[in-house]
Structure 1
């Protein structure tokens, strides 16, 4: 049964495989849609026109997916059946007892804490004595076996790196519990040469440690003590975060190394006591402890049974490399048979001994820069000087050599040498062995000119170059250089067309934005103008209303109204016509009232005249 050691990586590797498959699937689907669209809309069957093989493309896709899947399978680290093997083991067992109480956070050991110094001390001893068995026990108020005795030092180093004063609850330094755990560990390895290395500042809880020493003394297990801290100066106790600790009274807690207790432990068990000397901090005692351990019995013939598994990923990794190699080696271009490939290779090798250069095109020319102007007379002199260095007899091979020399030395002036190069290459193309190279070089030169042309003419000139490449490929279908140059020209033309289309779209967009801005400005001006006219009309209307109101509030004299003639009433009627509808109604009502008043006044005047006409003086008297 296959066992995966890194099965935890499966949730991360499966999405990678799925993502790679989806990328290839959607990429191929998009390509098929484009080909179908071009065939339906423009009648272009790119599958038949293309020089690429569909079968080879599918094989490349398949090899890539299989390679990714195989690599992910190897990362899971598959293993075979578990078997038991005998492995050579050391006969020396070294057990570290490390104090991790709060007092070990005092920084009085070369500007580092006592705990950090003890971790460094244990790591250095393990590096100096490779091949032995090591174990780790930590203690404060209680003791704990962090790592039992093992022949794999990397595991012990891992636990050492993670030690801090918060691993065990409570405070205090219970050395007795640590010594009891050490005795239990050594019971399983009675035949080994056993050593205990105690790293502590010695602030113990009572004298319980004396009882624990008796068992170690009977088994003759020495306890080598590394005293930590300055015994002459108290240090400020910190917590695991580096903050000072206060007692119940609110005072800072101080710690002083108890060297007397540690020295007694070492003396009573026959071990070595290494004190901390602030005046000689470089004397860590490693050499002393190392020499004592090396003097112990070391049996190289001791063996132990270890269960191991066969690594199966070593069989799948070459398969993944093989699939990647197939992916890189397999080309999508349609190749001729192996025999024709061999013949073509031999012909090219034979011609290469006679021809100094082959038609090659750089992947991309840099943008044209400003060049110093050279007169045609100077260029003609240079061409004559180049031709004079070659044989005077101009045949096909000589014309080819001259064309190559001129193109190499005067490539900075393509426009000036274009006509001369074309004549020389056409002359060289008359030779059957030089025809392909001459035409290819001439087309490559035109390709360079097309790339250096003005942006508006690049697409048209590249199309001409592409047509010439297609004509050459119809005569030389096995030429890989022509296929590469054709593919490069197609890509460059596509990029140029895309850039032109983007520029055109950007120009249209800018023009639309400009037109929209002008339209918005016109609308805004028209709105302002309409608002001004409206405000002016409202103002005039208000003035007119005020005038009408003043006219209405003006008191009217009845005698003056009676004496008014029709000619004087005409201006009033004109003013009334100019009023608004609402004001006209109000004015009409007022006019009715005036006319009624006038009629009443006329009626009273008439009655008075009638009374005067019938006046009788005697009756009145």
Structure 2
């Protein structure tokens, strides 16, 4: 290879790199730091960079081999042939085409930037609903006298559709969840032991589905471990960054199981800044509980008594800065839940959102610009005749 050809090759390579650098000025100025953490979602397109050297070579050095030649006896008349600026710029169309291809291939690889810095301040609180699933929750919880068709004693005339305390609690909880927008809500269920149904979350559809599927038989109902349940709720709120943290305890029995005393669980809640709001379902009077069916397939009910401990619930709520409520029917339970929410002060927490921004337009624009510049160079500078 002659010295002139080597020098020309170096100049072509330098020209391509310079054109690429110029083309990258706009992307760098527009989204400087974003390129360092960019994710290339279509990396296979980067293999197209292997074609760029071939295209540049065919349009510059390789073009000489495809040029028509005229055999003449002497080259003396050509000594004064074209040696102006145009002859020195004959490789620039290939240089510009190569740089445009590089930028175009990078754009096809589709770089994206994760906008982790975007945030929105929203009003919200962190709540854990602690629900009793002990056997006493199967007691019937009739509607008040003023609601619906009633039989003697304020009971529904259709005895086969009488709701239990758990049925009513589930409906109220799902309604409570459905009316929230920015409150993170979790659910803990308990009998003789406590279980986390869901940690605090904003995924309300999932939370509603989980609550809807709760049944008395999913865990043992032979006991009421209020201390363990409250302690589990406190543990779920310990890592919360919200200023307002609350536990809503719904129970219809006295604490008679578990490894943690309710008073100590209240102390743990107090140290973590968690307010406990207690809702006592029922007042300890005799209630009806379904016990199988009769000869005609109708539900058979028996009278039962489930003791409650309102003093304990009031102490737990009072020690943590919360409040205690008593609900004997669905309406009272709904009012209690909404009263609790009204008493909770609002707080602001950041809801970080990770959104993707496509960066390929910032590469595509200079690529198109280089193609347009190549067309102008061919048209105005290195045009050939004929």
Q: Taking structure 1 as the reference length, what is the TM-score of the superposition?
A: 0.32
User: Which protein is bigger by CA-based radius of gyration?
Assistant: 1
Give the structure with the higher percent strand: 2
Greater relative contact order, per chain length (Cα 8 Å cut-off, separation 6+): 2
Q: Of Structure 1 and Structure 2, which has the larger fraction of its residues in helix?
A: 1
TM-score by length of 2: 0.50
